[in-house]
Amino acid sequence: MDTATTLRVNAPTLAQRAYNIRRNAIRMGEVQGQGYIAQALDISDVLAVAYFHAMRYRPEDPDWEERDRFLLSNGHYAIALYAALIEAGIIPEAELETYGSDDSRLPMSGMASYTPGMEMSGGSLGLGLSIAVGMGLGLKRKNSSSRVYTLFSDGELDEGSVWEAISSASHYRLDNLIAIVDVNNQQADGPSRQVMGFEPLVARLEAFGWFVQRVDGNDLDAVVAAFDTARTHEAPKPRMIVADTLMGKGVPFLEQREKNHFIRVEPHEWQLALAALDAGRP
């Protein structure tokens, strides 16, 4: 049964879920005093839709065979995924304060063996789509109705391996694969389009045989519609959601900060960030 169908009438809205994910992420950032918080804020809406609208899973059984798989290729986004997994009840909220600490199950870069609900060890960028292809093939072999979701970043489009996987997903008609690329236009050395141009991305992906939708990744309604269409589209093609997002989304002073891959947040600013987020609480 889809998670969405089990939601009670008084269940939190997606906007509230996204707010909670952002809040969890900021609290983890404060614990560590640093982190990829701007990315976590930009992707929270996508994760809210993935975990509270689209995906099938059981919080009490993260390895449930019938679950949809979620592969975090950009391992440094772990802070965002942990925030979502806490909101989903897969990780206890109490562990939030261990983020990035010794012996924590929540390391700075996501690893499969550390965290319930983490399906791969990312961080070395460009791995996720290849694993997703194998999982997609495996699920088809098992006649499973589960889907493979994978999130990766626009910077990963620089990696040749990503395009190897893009070719093969199309070759094998993996219609059970839904990839989301976070286009926040920021990678380690600067704006992604300046580091290595990747546009026109939709046309390129379509030319590789994918069904592609491009949406404002911070517009919840648009993201919901994109996930719905990706799940119901009938063409035997892998599906890509190109999500244009805003770094620091939801915390105005971080949205406006000069964009950095590893954004600097002063110790006193974490509370300011929470306050700013709370000011826009849905």
A 10 A CB-CB count for 114 gives: 14
Answer whether 80's CB lies under 8 Å from 40's CB. yes
Strands 177-183 and 239-244, bridge-based pairing: parallel
Answer whether 257's CB lies under 8 Å from 47's CB. no
Answer whether 148's CB lies under 8 Å from 71's CB. yes
**Rule CB under 8 A: is residue 145 a binding residue for another protein?**
no
**Rule CB under 8 A: is residue 133 a binding residue for another protein?**
yes
**Rule CB under 8 A: is residue 108 a binding residue for another protein?**
no
Task: Give 190's DSSP letter.
Answer: B
Helix (H) or strand (E) holding 274: helix 269-279
A 10 A CB-CB count for 29 gives: 26
In the block, which residue shows the tokens 């939190």?
12
In the block, which residue shows the tokens 């806490």?
86
Rg over alpha carbons for the chain, rounded to the nearest Å, is: 18
**Rule CB under 8 A: is residue 143 a binding residue for another protein?**
no
Which residue, 10 or 113, has its beta carbon nearer to another protein?
113
Which residue, 119 or 244, has its beta carbon nearer to another protein?
119
Which residue, 81 or 276, has its beta carbon nearer to another protein?
81
In whole angstroms, the minimum distance from the beta carbon of 138 to another protein comes to: 3
Stretch that binds another protein, among 114-122, 181-189, 254-262, 270-278 (CB under 8 A): 114-122
Tell which one of 10, 113, 143, 256 touches another protein (CB under 8 A).
Answer: 113
Which residue, 84 or 165, has its beta carbon nearer to another protein?
165
Tell which one of 4, 7, 15, 112 touches another protein (CB under 8 A).
Answer: 112
Q: Which of residues 166-195 bind another protein (CB under 8 A)?
A: 167-168, 171-172
In the block, which residue shows the tokens 């546009």?
199
Stretch that binds another protein, among 47-55, 124-132, 194-202, 232-240 (CB under 8 A): 124-132
Which residue, 45 or 175, has its beta carbon nearer to another protein?
175
In the block, which residue shows the tokens 């199950």?
105
In the block, which residue shows the tokens 């059981």?
58
Tell which one of 40, 41, 84, 127 touches another protein (CB under 8 A).
Answer: 127
Residue numbers at the binding site for another protein (CB under 8 A): 111-113, 119-121, 123-124, 126-127, 129-139, 141-142, 148, 160-161, 164-165, 167-168, 171-172
